[in-house]
Structure 1
Amino acid sequence: MRHHIPTLLFRDYLTSQRDKKFLLVIDNLWASDFHFWEMLRVPLLVGGDGSKVLITTRYERACHIPERIDRPSLTGLKDEDCWQLIQSLALPQGIDCHMGLIPIGEEIARRCYGSPMAAKALGAVLNRTSADEWSSVLSEMQALKDDFNGVVLASLKISYHHLRYHLKQCFGYCSIFPNGYVFERDQVVRYWMAEGLIEPEGRRRLEAVGMKYFDDLLWRSFFEKVPICDKGQIEHYRIPSLMHNLASIVSEYEFRGLQSGKRVLESNGAHQAQVRYASFIQPSDKRTLNLECIEPYSNLRALKFSHECNNGVVLLNSTPAHFFCNFMYLRVLDMSDSDLEQVPDSVGKLIHLRFLGLSYTKIKTLPEEICGLSNLQTLELKGCSQLESLPEGLQRLINLRHLDFHLDWEDISDSTEVAIPQGIGELEDLQTLSRFNVASAKGQQCNILELKDLKLRGDLCILNLEKVPTGHAKNANLQGKNFIEKLMLRWHSSALTDGLLQQQSEEHLPWLLNLRIENVHGDTMSLPEGFPSLEDLTLLNLNFLGRLTLGNEMPKLKKLYVSDCSKLQELVIHRNLYDKFERGNLLSSLRIICVPQD
């Protein structure tokens, strides 16, 4: 079995899996106290024969307390392997034209002490540089003390010092994330934008420039991808542990990590007034939150709340209403992944705020005071499943670029509605909207025509399309939104009929790659034309459907999947689509008719 289980729940989970064989992987462990090992050992006793626990650590003491444990030490890469890794990044076109670099490169590789991270980081530093630069890097490494941990970290410092200034700033800023924290690229770029760390490049969007920064740091191994199981999921990243140590070192005068009234990271004498950004970490063993340790840092520009276990809930619901009045310089405030039910009134007074993170909280509404934050660029409300409405004065957020209240599309249903006020179409810089709840033209809420001039990107889910008057769909200009990557068009199940689908879905979408249709109540269906780029077509849970016609060629289609259509008796399909057809749970008596090519 393979599961990702929150740390606080793993004991209950293992108890529920009594007598089943398991593999438990604990990566990068630093705990060395007896209490931790005893807490871990007891629930493991319920596992079946052959169960295994795999622990990785760079802290030798962490593996000495448990009994009956094998302690193999992993050796580093061989010198020649480090050299090959350096070459792959520094000389992607091959070594043939650079034979004079071989002795220098081999000595640099030897001084990586088998660390692939050091080899990758230095290879990126040496990419497309002169022989003098190679000699300079070698000289820096020769000055290092011959100690594995010291040399590896120092090698990473060398790669950091060779970064351009703006990349140094962006990397150091990422110390605000706790060690092991998993993040999305957009989240980091929006932080950087809020802090003014992204330098404008002509007419390019700041987001595009920021993504280039991110990809550069990723290529240089300052970030790493986190493996994901599903192809359709958004890619996630983290800072490697050694790189996180480096980020903490280079930002020691500007960053503080705070926990239960004490500093997590010591400061080497830096004054509180110098601190510009901080993260407050909720300990896993605390049931209340003491925020007094934050108060001396009144000059903060960024404040992020996190849980010690990364996937736990921060207890912010009892935050005093006036608390944030002490931090009037904040540009970034992230209270995501907390039990927050109501945004404190004082947040509305943070006139410099550019990023407000409230994702995965319990809020139902936002205070009207939020609309006075005229500098706000990003309002993140992802995963807020209880959100009912947005404030009436939303159009006053004239600098808003990202209104992100995305829900996993599997969780969207007829009851997934967020009342959106009129005037959202006036937000000229808005690029991210995520969900749009349609209201009738005569209603008090905004109607689909507000989408007309918005230059939206990424994901967009449009709900309650049955409320769209005839002709309004075309005027919403969906066909002109070329940067929408994922689109959901949803009719309320009580109003949806096949005729209505035909009437309202003649919006040609030339760039659409994936289309999923489910829970349609009509007894016949014909897919309209207008999908020349479609690669994946899925039809699910069409429980009233008796006849389905897919007569269009759809030249780029790679997969056609139809399942859980309990009454489907006849499928009319274009001949070129037949080989792509995959049937799921369908009648064995289903009749398939192939339409010849025109």
Structure 2
Amino acid sequence: MGKLNELENDPLAPLLLSYNDFPPMIKLCFLYCAVFPKGYNIEKDELIKLWMAQGYIRPIGNKEMEVIGQEYFDYLATRSFFQKFDKDDEDNVTRCKMSDAVHDFAQFLTKHEYFSIEADGSEESLTKTSLEKFRHSMLVLGRRASFPVSIFKAKKLRSLLIHSEFEVSFHVLQGLFDHLTCLRALKITGKVSWGQNSIYAIPKEIEKLVHLRYLKLSLLMREELPDIVCELFNLQTLEVEHCPRLKRLPQGIGKLVNLRHLIYYYSNLDYMPKGFERLTCLRTLTEFVVSGGKYSGKACNIEGLRHLNHLGGVFRITGLGNVTDVDEAENAELEKKRNVVDLGLWFDKDEEGEEADHEEIIEALKPHSNLVALDILGFKGKITFPKWIMSLNNLKSLHLRSCEKCEILPPLGKLPSLETLYIAGMSGKRVGDEFFGIGSDCNIAFPKLKFLRVVDMFEWEEWGFGITRSNVKEDVMVMPCLNYLDIQFCFKLKALPGYLLEITALEKLEILCCPILEQRYRKGTGEDWAKVAHVPTITINRQYVQGIF
């Protein structure tokens, strides 16, 4: 109360009025933000995971902790305690900042428990205040700074977030793990500068961090995470990023039964360890790698996904070319993973040899109809794509890449929500009317499509000339919302359909390495220049022919 009385006649007093109305758990969540330096870009999803690690978010009924965390974030945002939001393509907030006044207010309320240091020279002193009182800290260390080992005295520290432009040495890590055994959140990251700020080994003393719930490491220069990490039974989040040498997760990872988020960006895993199927609490998984026979004694097959039904967000399965048993694919039960909204199915393969029928495999991998984005890579079905694509009524983005043997596209024009379509590396010579799906049950093809890119269709010659304004009913429309049309490396394509070029919404046309199209739509002299002249921005071979994008 003493702190709050000090603010009664202060410019920060209006913030105090709002703060006093906060529910107790939201007060804790707000105060935690004092750990960040002024002007820091706060990653929303990371912040929620850090709140979870501190126990500030408790389950309520069947509601996910992550959902509750989002509600807490929104509560603070709507009261202007967060601002300057970055958003993704779906208008979801990804990052934010606190204003200087709000940051000062948070630090005033927590000045004996939270601190952040930004140093790029001599060691910042941590002796001004009793370190034993500190609970949460962030260190931002420039290249000329040295690690402030005096922080080892803060033995009750529960959060330590380090961003360093130099290597955090093995001995420093040993010291951290030896002394800061109350940690619930540990983050060690740096700028991508290979060799200067990398982590080359993880000391075995990490097993002392028995309370740790959040662990994030970047620039780890190892081929495998050590098995000792599997002794951290309370881990909720394990994240490694910018670790291109990483090939293996710990063989005992199945012990981490409380793990909710397993994230590994820019890594090259060989397989998923046996026991992975026990991680049934997982909400986030970057990638599930299906391995070939080389790792059969160590690896979990695709059937291991069966009970991981809480998975959500963005999820990719790679190595599908290694699947030899259709039943295993079916037993993965992707259709039960209703929270996965962005799915990648990649049919790469470890070794040469026979492959199972890709068409059977992909049909067995039917996702839930909630799917919003789908990326299919390397599929070798000889005729067409899976039938279930046409049941994805919520699909907004579809990428079909390097599906070399597929000659026929499904009637994608029937997908009611599709906004982005990317097609690359198919072998067909003609895209016919079936692509548009116009019929008695559909008189608008691609009703919401805004972006269409077609790349590397080396044999493609003709594009759906059966539909023209003279032989269809007046109420039939094709891609009425198309805004951006991009055609690249389609060497044999003779022309673009006239009805596409008549779309009034079309704002940009891009043509690259398509010699026939280049001649046909050349400004002023091309035989069909008049058909595209109304498009505000046109580039041919990356040269602006019209407009400035």
Q: What RMSD in Å do the two structures reach over aligned CA positions? A: 3.5
- Structure 2 equivalent of residue 57 of structure 1: none
Cα shift at 1:361: 4.1
Cα shift at 1:274: 1.6
Secondary structure at the aligned position of 2:61 is classed as: coil
Alignment of 1:79-478 (within 5 A): 144=9, 151=11, 153-228=12-87, 235-258=94-117, 259=119, 261-263=123-125, 271-286=130-145, 289-307=146-164, 313-320=165-172, 322-323=174-175, 324-337=177-190, 339-359=198-218, 361-407=220-266, 416-439=268-291, 442-454=296-308, 455-468=310-323, 469-478=325-334
- Structure 1 equivalent of residue 535 of structure 2: none
Cα shift at 1:544: 4.2
Distance 1:444 1:561, change over 3 A: same
Q: Give % identity.
A: 26
Give the distance between the partners of 2:297 and 2:7, measured in 1 at CA.
73
- Structure 1 equivalent of residue 516 of structure 2: none
Give the distance between the partners of 1:496 and 1:536, measured in 2 at CA.
36
Secondary structure at the aligned position of 2:75 is classed as: helix
Render the CA deviation track for 1:274-295: whole Å, top value 9, x for unaligned.
Answer: 2111122203543xx3332212
Secondary structure at the aligned position of 1:235 is classed as: strand
Render the CA deviation track for 1:248-277: whole Å, top value 9, x for unaligned.
Answer: 11111111324453248x97xx53222111
- Structure 2 equivalent of residue 50 of structure 1: none
Distance 1:456 1:558, change over 3 A: closer
Q: Is the 8 A contact 1:546 1:569 kept in 2?
A: no
- Structure 1 equivalent of residue 407 of structure 2: 547
Residue 517, structure 1, aligned to residue 517, structure 2: no
Cα shift at 1:472: 0.9
Render the CA deviation track for 1:423-458: whole Å, top value 9, x for unaligned.
Answer: 111123222222111135844211111111112122
Cα shift at 1:228: 4.9
Secondary structure at the aligned position of 2:224 is classed as: coil
Give the distance between the partners of 2:299 and 2:406, measured in 1 at CA.
38
Give the distance between the partners of 1:319 and 1:471, measured in 2 at CA.
49
Render the CA deviation track for 1:323-364: whole Å, top value 9, x for unaligned.
Answer: 120111111111133522322322222111111111454443
Whose helix proportion is higher, 1 or 2? 1
Q: Is the 8 A contact 1:527 1:549 kept in 2?
A: no
Render the CA deviation track for 1:190-232: whole Å, top value 9, x for unaligned.
Answer: 1111111224423422222222111111111112243357559
Secondary structure at the aligned position of 2:160 is classed as: strand
Is 356-365 or 557-566 further displaced after alignment? Answer: 557-566
Give the distance between the partners of 1:487 and 1:377, measured in 2 at CA.
23
- Structure 2 equivalent of residue 561 of structure 1: 421
Q: Is the 8 A contact 1:261 1:293 kept in 2?
A: no
Is 389-398 or 475-484 further displaced after alignment? Answer: 389-398
Q: Is the 8 A contact 2:344 2:376 kept in 1?
A: no
Distance 1:508 1:235, change over 3 A: same
What code does the residue aligned with 2:150 have?
C
Give the distance between the partners of 1:584 and 1:569, measured in 2 at CA.
13
Q: Is the 8 A contact 1:276 1:299 kept in 2?
A: yes
Q: Is the 8 A contact 2:345 2:376 kept in 1?
A: no
Render the CA deviation track for 1:350-409: whole Å, top value 9, x for unaligned.
Answer: 1111111114544432121111111222111244333211111111223222212245xx
Distance 1:243 1:460, change over 3 A: same
Q: Is the 8 A contact 1:183 1:238 kept in 2?
A: yes
Cα shift at 1:170: 1.2
Secondary structure at the aligned position of 1:525 is classed as: coil
What code does the residue aligned with 1:396 have?
K
- Structure 1 equivalent of residue 462 of structure 2: 590
What code does the residue aligned with 2:182 have?
Y
Give the distance between the partners of 1:356 and 1:207, measured in 2 at CA.
17
Q: Is the 8 A contact 1:462 1:489 kept in 2?
A: yes
Counterpart of 1:482 (choices 334, 338, 346) is 338
Cα shift at 1:553: 6.2
Distance 1:376 1:523, change over 3 A: closer
Whose strand proportion is higher, 1 or 2? 2
Distance 1:537 1:524, change over 3 A: farther
Secondary structure at the aligned position of 2:15 is classed as: helix
Distance 1:223 1:495, change over 3 A: farther
Secondary structure at the aligned position of 2:326 is classed as: coil
Give the distance between the partners of 1:480 and 1:566, measured in 2 at CA.
30
Q: What is the TM-score of this pair, normalised by structure 1?
A: 0.65
Give the distance between the partners of 1:142 and 1:304, measured in 2 at CA.
29
Render the CA deviation track for 1:68-107: whole Å, top value 9, x for unaligned.
Answer: xxxxxxxxxxxxxxxxxxxxxxxxxxxxxxxxxxxxxxxx
Give the distance between the partners of 1:142 and 1:180, measured in 2 at CA.
23
Give the distance between the partners of 1:334 and 1:464, measured in 2 at CA.
30
Counterpart of 1:503 (choices 350, 354, 360) is 360
Q: Which runs of 5+ in 1 are unaligned?
A: 1-139, 145-149, 308-312
Cα shift at 1:500: 3.6
Is 510-519 or 342-351 further displaced after alignment? Answer: 510-519
Matched residue count: 435
Q: Is the 8 A contact 2:85 2:94 kept in 1?
A: yes
Render the CA deviation track for 1:33-83: whole Å, top value 9, x for unaligned.
Answer: xxxxxxxxxxxxxxxxxxxxxxxxxxxxxxxxxxxxxxxxxxxxxxxxxxx
Cα shift at 1:239: 2.2
Secondary structure at the aligned position of 1:256 is classed as: strand
Give the distance between the partners of 1:367 and 1:142, measured in 2 at CA.
50
Is 536-545 or 319-328 further displaced after alignment? Answer: 536-545
Q: What is the TM-score of this pair, normalised by structure 2?
A: 0.70
Q: Is the 8 A contact 1:502 1:528 kept in 2?
A: no
Give the distance between the partners of 2:377 and 2:411, measured in 1 at CA.
19
Q: Which runs of 4+ in 1 moved over 6 A?
A: 140-143, 493-499, 593-597
Distance 1:300 1:142, change over 3 A: closer
Give the distance between the partners of 1:425 and 1:217, measured in 2 at CA.
37
Q: Is the 8 A contact 2:43 2:96 kept in 1?
A: yes
What code does the residue aligned with 2:174 have?
H
